[in-house]
Structure 1
Amino acid sequence: MAETTAICQAAPDAAAIEAMARAALARIPSPFAEHLADVVLLIEDYADDETLAALGIDEPIDLTGIYHGRPIGEKSSFESGALPDRIHLYRLPILWEWIETGVALDALVHHVVVHEVGHHFGLSDDDMHALEDAAGEETAG
């Protein structure tokens, strides 16, 4: 009887997700990249209760990432003492979406990072969806 070996792979940890996110940030083109140097990237398992409540989200699994800060167009050179802009990625919701959708994990992390970077530049969710749809039509046509 042939012996079978079960392959059990551990879920990617925060460091692995961070490496994918940093690779995604490195692919952001100029002139946008120059505006990201001071943005802090944080990887956490889930959003905290305060963030979820502020967004009206009941299930932590529903939030894969969030941008905290003021969009570039709203910043003033007279501001001081503000926290740095931050992009939070939430590892477990990202992994859940990865399992549910079958999308490559690095592509999914790239998508979430680009989405949150869009908020850094002041784009709304609707604006980003329209851009994604337009990009999809260009590649399909």
Structure 2
Amino acid sequence: MTDVPDAVFAEEMVGPGVAIEPAPGRTTVVSPIAGTVLKVLPHAFVVLGDGVGVLVHLGINTVRLEGEGFEVLAEQGSEVDAGDPMITWDPSTLPASAGGQDVSPVVPVVLMDGEKGSVTSDALGATVAAGDLLFTT
């Protein structure tokens, strides 16, 4: 996470986690856990399962795109299983900047309110797919 080009994620202010460099092309991002969709925005979502919240943030400074290029598939308040489709996007079509801020396709997956440094991952530097274990606490 220290390489994420946003201090909020790099310094684990929201919580610890991992960052994914997405493959180019249109893709559907899935829920990493089963639970309730607490929040869904065009560029991010939070799922709460077993008292643990996980934030998936599609890109850095993508909020400035105001939803352009994102298709929300899940509904706030709905119950989801791990692997259920949440948002479709194409990271390769992101502009270099938006609203005066650099945009990056990096996707932080964060254990919200977890202790700094409390997650470990064998997936670092590896290619991951839906259903792969991203991290443990």
TM-score range (shorter-chain normalised) is: under 0.3
TM-score (norm 2): 0.23
- Structure 1 or 2: more helix by fraction: 1
